[in-house]
Amino acid sequence: MDKTNQSGNSVEFPSKKGQSVSRRNLLKTGSAVVAGTAIGSNAITGFPTIWAQNIKNVTLRQFGTGVSNINEIAKRAKQDLGITLQMTALDTDSTAQRVVTQPRSFDIADIEYFTLKKVWGSGNMQPMDIRKLKYYDQIVGTFKNGKLTPSSKIAQGTAPHTVSFVENPTDRKFAKGQTNWYTMVPTIYNADTLGIRPDLIKRPISSWTELLNPEFRGKASILNIASIGIMDAAMVCEAMGEVQYGDKGNMTQAEIDKTMAIFTEAKQAGQFRAFWKTFDESVNLMASGEVVIQSMWSPAITKVRSMGIPCVYQPLKEGYRSWGGGLGLSRNLAGLELDAAYEYINWYLSGWVGGLLMRQGYYSAAPATSKLYMSEDEWGFWFEGKAAKNDIVNPFGQKMEPAGAKRDGGSFYERMGKVECWNSVMDENRYMVRKWNEFIAS
């Protein structure tokens, strides 16, 4: 109910680009990465399959946060599939509310994994049959067994793979390992850290502890979404050496109390200028100079930078806090609509959307398919962490980075490999939320 539908800048979208780039890339990279033929033909011709004629008249109602519920995706889906998508953008807390309280109001839920953990038990969603997911093989390991590469260690918190599978379609409990029923198809994720204004701070920042450094009194901010904010807070307290956590993603009451005590003290000392809830708020805080250091999401940084204001997504020695989101299906979907939803989700993973998201600074769950829709330079900059050869332009035509720039934190593997914890729903969630509210109110 916290409605946060918004609208943004009117955008110019180079609609031809996706196709031409993909063609060029396809020629160049050939079958190098992807299960070639299907994607190749799709990319070029759109998406004509068996259902194409029937599903043309289907309307799917999707909601999610403003980051991925953008009208461009709906427009393109209409073009490629004929499906009409009604997008509603909400803030993170409201997405959980929507699943739980208005199950008949949506067909597709675009939510975060920690939200999924909260709401799955309501029985308002249904899992997907993996056999119907064309690009399941392309999805990175993080969303299957938790390992980015076979040797990676699994981060703390609500790691996506822990809530990704159920044994049976009607189960309300998650399965331990991988099964044939996928609760949500991952679409978007990133490694988060602190954003800073280097021009106003004027010295290197290397640790999460700086968020509470009295030097930035009245110029710091943190996000007010309990399940995410508590993780940022834990990163800070752990880095300060004030609290040792058994598992940051599943704190005890005592750990929660200690963490909140430290932050409450800082708040009362005037450390924070404001709290934010949606990523545009964080952009406004940073761009206006009200805040110089804060928890921030990657595209918010790029947005500030595109305004010509210096802003860095500072990699920190303690690692990143990560989040991920995906598309889930409403329990009420059936028949033709359900087919259309599968079709849409397959299309979503087929690369165009992934490219759109990657070129804003997020990661796609199936990066290999997205590569087809990015120029070599874009891929090099956003994914491989290489220096840009030309100016980097976002999908909306705004210049993000000049030639020669490098992505903060480096390549995909460097960034996602240093994830320390995921946004979490803990066993003590009820207690944590109460304490978090008290912190906000204190």
The distance of closest approach from Cβ of residue 117 to other proteins in the complex, given in angstroms and rounded to an integer, is 9
Partnered with residue 401 across adjacent β-strands are 392
The distance of closest approach from Cβ of residue 185 to other proteins in the complex, given in angstroms and rounded to an integer, is 21
Of residues 5 and 54, the one with the C-beta less far from other proteins:
5
CA angle 298, 109, 336 (to 5 degrees): 135
Look up residue 253 and give its amino acid: Q
Of residues 57 and 101, the one with the C-beta less far from other proteins:
101
The distance of closest approach from Cβ of residue 112 to other proteins in the complex, given in angstroms and rounded to an integer, is 14
The distance of closest approach from Cβ of residue 217 to other proteins in the complex, given in angstroms and rounded to an integer, is 10
The distance of closest approach from Cβ of residue 70 to other proteins in the complex, given in angstroms and rounded to an integer, is 5
Q: Which residues contact 238 (CB under 8 A, 6 or more apart)?
A: 208, 244, 245, 248, 318
The distance of closest approach from Cβ of residue 154 to other proteins in the complex, given in angstroms and rounded to an integer, is 23
Instruction: Show the beta-strand stretches assigned E in 261-309.
Output: 272-276, 293-296
Place of tokens 């997911």: 133
Of residues 1 and 44, the one with the C-beta less far from other proteins:
1
Neighbours of 412 (CB within 10 A): 20
Of residues 9 and 151, the one with the C-beta less far from other proteins:
9
Q: Which of 225, 272, 255, 223 is nearest to 442 (CA)?
A: 272
The distance of closest approach from Cβ of residue 404 to other proteins in the complex, given in angstroms and rounded to an integer, is 23
In angstroms, rounded to a whole number, what is the distance separating the alpha carbons of residues 157 and 159?
A: 6
Of residues 242 and 281, the one with the C-beta less far from other proteins:
281
Of residues 285 and 368, the one with the C-beta less far from other proteins:
285
Of residues 342 and 362, the one with the C-beta less far from other proteins:
362
Q: Which of 78, 72, 34 is nearest to 340 (CA)?
A: 78
**In the chain, how many H helices and how many E strands?**
17, 17
Nearest 10 degrees: CA dihedral of 184, 190, 196, 197? Answer: -100
**Site for other proteins, rule CB under 8 A:** 1-11, 61, 63, 66, 69-72, 87-89, 91, 93-94, 96-102, 104-106, 118-119, 121-122, 218, 224, 226, 267, 272-278, 280-281, 283-284, 287-290, 303, 307, 396, 425, 429-430, 433-434, 437-438, 440-442
Instruction: Characterize 226-240 residue by residue with b for buried, 16 or more Cβ atoms within 10 angstroms of its Cβ, and e for exposed.
Output: bbbbbbbbbbbbbbe
Residue 211 backbone phi and psi in degrees, to 5: -60, -35
Of residues 24 and 172, the one with the C-beta less far from other proteins:
172
The distance of closest approach from Cβ of residue 27 to other proteins in the complex, given in angstroms and rounded to an integer, is 32
